[in-house]
Amino acid sequence: MVGLRWGARTDVGRVRAANQDAVLADHPLFAVADGMGGHAAGEVAAATALEALRGVARRPSVADLVDGVRRSNGAVFERSIRDLELRGMGTTLCALALFRTEDGHDRLALANVGDSRAYLFRRGTLRQLTRDHSYVADLVAAGQITEEEALHHPNRNMLTRALGVEPSVEVDHWELVPEVGDRYLLCSDGLFNELSDDELRELLDDDVEPEAVATTLVERANAAGGRDNISVVVVDVVADGEGPGAPEPALGGWLDPDDPNDSHADEDTGPSSTQAVPVVPVPSSPPAPPPATPAAPRRRRFTWRVGLFVGAVVAVLAVATLGLVRYGRDAWFVAIDDDHVAIFRGHPGGFLWFDPTLEQRYPLRLEAVPPAEVQPVLEGRTFSSRSDAVTYVRNLARESAELGLTPTETIPTTTTTTTTTPVPTTPPAAPTAPTSPPPPTTEVLGP
């Protein structure tokens, strides 16, 4: 059985205006969260995630911890739905907790979402336990870029998995067997993007209190540039009785990101125990293969607001389309078809995808059209209603007869397409017309 000693720090760094990281040091539960989102949303996401995580069981098993991370995801997601200004926020979350199995063995539960990391420093060797859920990590895993290139890649901040951006989240998790002398490090990318693995190893390989190590790590990351918020939790596995001697530790709570001096490292060591279990940590879930195409880091969720917006856009488009259809179809014109006067539905020359369709052809030939109307008919004389067009043809026939132009003729009815709508077979005769208007010879309706 083992105990823990720990130290934690979070720092704004030297470039960022605000610290969107948050740290939880609440023995036996430790976590780092690196929030993202506009304005203060990242801070809210990280703080919300850690606050929700504190509701996990007192000594959470791996399943408990995964459960807790999922509840954190739900808490962040719910909050981002409720508050428009927080929409799209998310956070990484890397959590470590000591628990005891039913048969009395100490174990560590580790859970991770995003690109914060957990390392194990054991007997001089540094090992990264978690796998980054990031675009560049996938590229490195696929052999497309090197670790060095990943550090300077323009999309190095793009996450493929984060907490709080979807209603549910997949959580990587491990059950680790602690060994006295182990030193665990949880950290945000503001640390490992500034310090190489060799530098981390060198700084962790120092026989000082974890709090001092945490402080040094932050100082060195700032010295290297401090281009991002920097958060670290250092947890040492010690034999029972090696701690300062306090009984069950006072609860540390999570660190205030605005106070870089806030730490609970001096609060306590862990519970008593004497036996270490010298087994190498074994991942309980092997890392998933990298996706072929990494997802965008801050994917928009389909909220009811988005649904409302999409619905409104669809409605506007539907109304506009109906208007276009109506404009394209609810028009008539008189023109020449096969040398005869005819009524068409549509616009001369067509409109968008609406081609004019032949409605009726009359036995009134072009040469019988009164001279004044020849040009308009050739160009297509338009009307807003079918009855206006019929009246126009009727008047053409009457005027043609009055002028003694070629009378109407009987022309054979052409083969037509299926008639789907009844149309007048004879335009109404003008009361004063000496001859009846020519009957239509053809009935063709478009769709």
Q: Which is nearer to Mg ion, 192 or 354 (CB)?
A: 192
Question: Would you call 248 helix, strand, or coil by DSSP?
Answer: coil
CA distance 96 to 379: 82
Work out how close the CB of 44 gets to Mg ion at its nearest, in angstroms, rounded to a whole number.
Answer: 15
CA distance 324 to 318: 10
Work out how close the CB of 206 gets to Mg ion at its nearest, in angstroms, rounded to a whole number.
Answer: 25
In terms of Cβ atoms closer than 10 Å to its own Cβ (0-12, 13-18, 19+), residue 270 is buried
Q: Quick one: DSSP state of residue 381?
A: E
Work out how close the CB of 237 gets to Mg ion at its nearest, in angstroms, rounded to a whole number.
Answer: 27
Q: Which is nearer to Mg ion, 179 or 228 (CB)?
A: 228
CA distance 74 to 172: 16
Element (H, E) at 371: helix 371-379
Binding of Mg ion by 189 (CB under 5 A): yes
- Which region, judged by CB under 5 A, interacts with Mg ion, from 6-14, 131-139, 220-228, 343-351? 220-228
The residue among 81, 95, 3, 6 whose CA lies nearest residue 44 is: 81
Q: Give the x/- contact pattern for Mg ion in 356-395, rule: CB under 5 A.
A: ----------------------------------------
Binding of Mg ion by 337 (CB under 5 A): no
- Which region, judged by CB under 5 A, interacts with Mg ion, from 170-178, 183-191, 313-321, 360-368? 183-191
- Which region, judged by CB under 5 A, interacts with Mg ion, from 4-12, 81-89, 161-169, 185-193? 185-193
Q: Which is nearer to Mg ion, 178 or 226 (CB)?
A: 226
The residue among 213, 210, 218, 187 whose CA lies nearest residue 94 is: 187
Identify residues 315-334 at the interface with Mg ion (CB under 5 A).
none
The residue among 21, 8, 4, 5 whose CA lies nearest residue 233 is: 8
CA distance 129 to 320: 56
Question: β-strand 2-11 against 254-255: which pairing, if any?
Answer: unpaired
Work out how close the CB of 95 gets to Mg ion at its nearest, in angstroms, rounded to a whole number.
Answer: 17
CA distance 446 to 355: 9
Work out how close the CB of 115 gets to Mg ion at its nearest, in angstroms, rounded to a whole number.
Answer: 8
Work out how close the CB of 43 gets to Mg ion at its nearest, in angstroms, rounded to a whole number.
Answer: 12
**Count of Cβ atoms closer than 10 Å to residue 264 Cβ:** 24
Q: Which is nearer to Mg ion, 17 or 84 (CB)?
A: 17
- The residue within the footprint of Mg ion, chosen from 11, 34, 211, 443 (CB under 5 A), is 34
- Which region, judged by CB under 5 A, interacts with Mg ion, from 145-153, 189-197, 277-285, 348-356? 189-197
In 159-280, alpha helices (H)? 189-192, 197-204, 210-223
- Which region, judged by CB under 5 A, interacts with Mg ion, from 2-10, 34-42, 130-138, 231-239? 34-42
Binding of Mg ion by 242 (CB under 5 A): no
User: Phi and psi for 418 in degrees, rounded to 5?
Assistant: -65, 135
Binding of Mg ion by 11 (CB under 5 A): no
Q: Which is nearer to Mg ion, 3 or 190 (CB)?
A: 190
Q: Which is nearer to Mg ion, 199 or 373 (CB)?
A: 199
Question: Would you call 358 helix, strand, or coil by DSSP?
Answer: strand
Binding of Mg ion by 228 (CB under 5 A): yes
- Which region, judged by CB under 5 A, interacts with Mg ion, from 54-62, 228-236, 406-414, 415-423? 228-236
Contacts to Mg ion by CB under 5 A: 34, 188-190, 228
